[in-house]
Amino acid sequence: MNDFIFQNSTKIIFGKNTENQVGIETSQFSKKVLLHYGGGSIKKSGLYDKVIQKLQEQNIEVFELGGVKPNPRVSLVREGVSICKENDIAFILAVGGGSVIDSAKAIAAGANYDGDVWDFFSGEAEVTDCIPLGVVLTIPAAGSETSSGTVITNEEGWLKRSALHPSMRPKFAILNPELTYTLPAYQTACGITDMMSHILERYFTTDKNVDLTDRLCEATLKSIIKNGPIVLEEPINYDARAEIMWAGTIAHNDILGTGRTGDWASHDIEHEISGIYDIAHGAGLAIIFPAWMKYVYKHDLNRFVQYANRVWDVEVDLHNLEHTAIEGIKRTEQFFQSIGMPITLNEAKIGDEHFREMAKKATERWPLGNFKKLHEEDVYEIYQLAR
């Protein structure tokens, strides 16, 4: 196990009707807030009106910026930064899923910076401090409600890049599983895939003696595998929705990565796909992760055998460990397919015309991954395997 420092200061407020606490929680930080959200879903559901009411009850002045898209755009982030600077706004409230929260984090970073916010994503500057933000989560998926990172897409060149800093962790996150009842099945499935991928990025490590976090990862994966199909069949099953919502947070709040080095190549490889094709991140991961597994499993066969056995209950074939590992990868694909995810680029109507471009862009700054270092040709081969 590696040395580590773990600190996650986000206050989690979990359960039924917890969105009613949003005004009180926000008032502890500012009386002026930027309310950030996506499309019209929170207005149709009545959540928008409830949030506005609770903020007004605390005499909080509300500025609004809606319109966040999946794979959030830097152009809207820049608009939010301008609103915050022009109105001296000291708090951002994100109501939505990972895209909204990531956009809010980028605004929070840019509001304290004199240059262009994209500098943080291009590597020209580092985040040093953010104005605080809070979250009302509506889509369990990205885990951004307690994470220290954000991912933003730049329309110029369709680059999808990340930035990290501890001050990006929201001050509070309100998680009411009831708010997820009306999520479309496809969006729910994308979220399930995303949170599983966050765990897998941490699980596939070359670090030794990490049995505790191995077991935590495996338990969280098995809980998602059990409850995911239930929420798809029974959308208003509170208990299953609660398990999925909490799993999405645990998957990405860093506890599962303590003492070990994660990989993250699959995320970087997928970012190039969703950057160009605007595919849902979870759907892209359902395609790329099994392809990555097929490409690297021989690098540490025993870890893939452990994964197959402990997560998918594959009986270990002592005479053919490779067969056991491959069966675990196969069952991963089958699960993604069973919940309605594409498992090939062809299914997503993505051709090979940009493979070389994407492989080059993905590796232009440094090789990808830690489980096995991947260079341009490696990434190109993974795209080929994902066809």
Q: Where are the domains of the chain?
A: 11-179, 185-385
Cβ-proximal residues to 15 (8 Å cutoff; 6+ apart), any chain: 175, 176, 177
Is the domain 11-179 a CATH 3.40.50.1970 member?
yes
Determine the pLDDT at residue 323: 98
State pLDDT tens for residues 51-65: 999 999 999 999 999
Is the domain 185-385 a CATH 2.40.400.10 member?
no
Give the up-direction half-sphere exposure of residue 234: CA atoms within 13 A in the CB hemisphere: 10
| Cα 380 from chain centroid (whole Å) | 24
What's the rounded Cα separation, in Å, for the pair 114 and 262?
33
The overall average pLDDT reported for the chain is 97
Quick one: angle between helices 301-312 and 211-233, nearest 10?
Answer: 50
State pLDDT tens for residues 244-301: 999 999 999 999 999 999 999 999 999 999 999 999 999 999 999 999 999 999 999 9
Q: What percent of the chain has pLDDT over 70?
A: 100
Determine the pLDDT at residue 85: 97
- Stretch 111-128: mean pLDDT: 96
pLDDT value at 40 more than 90: no
State pLDDT tens for residues 371-380: 999 999 999 9
Is-contact 299 371, C-beta < 8 A?
A: yes
Instruction: Give the model's confidence band at 171: pLDDT under 50 very low, under 70 low, under 90 confident, else very high.
Output: very high
Instruction: Give the model's confidence band at 177: pLDDT under 50 very low, under 70 low, under 90 confident, else very high.
Output: very high
Instruction: Give the model's confidence band at 222: pLDDT under 50 very low, under 70 low, under 90 confident, else very high.
Output: very high
What's the rounded Cα separation, in Å, for the pair 134 and 231?
26
What's the rounded Cα separation, in Å, for the pair 134 and 33?
10
Helix or strand or coil: residue 174? Answer: strand
What's the rounded Cα separation, in Å, for the pair 74 and 194?
22
Instruction: Give the model's confidence band at 27: pLDDT under 50 very low, under 70 low, under 90 confident, else very high.
Output: very high
Determine the pLDDT at residue 71: 92
DSSP strand pairing (32-37 vs 61-65): parallel
**CA 223, 202, 158, 384: dihedral to nearest 10 degrees?**
-90
- Stretch 129-136: mean pLDDT: 97
- Stretch 219-232: mean pLDDT: 98
- Stretch 34-63: mean pLDDT: 96
What's the rounded Cα separation, in Å, for the pair 305 and 1?
20
Quick one: angle between helices 211-233 and 185-203, nearest 10?
Answer: 170
Predicted model pTM: 0.95
pLDDT value at 156 more than 90: yes
Instruction: Give the model's confidence band at 360: pLDDT under 50 very low, under 70 low, under 90 confident, else very high.
Output: very high
Q: What are phi and psi of 186, to 5 degrees?
A: -65, -40
What's the rounded Cα separation, in Å, for the pair 131 and 274?
28
Helix or strand or coil: residue 148? Answer: coil
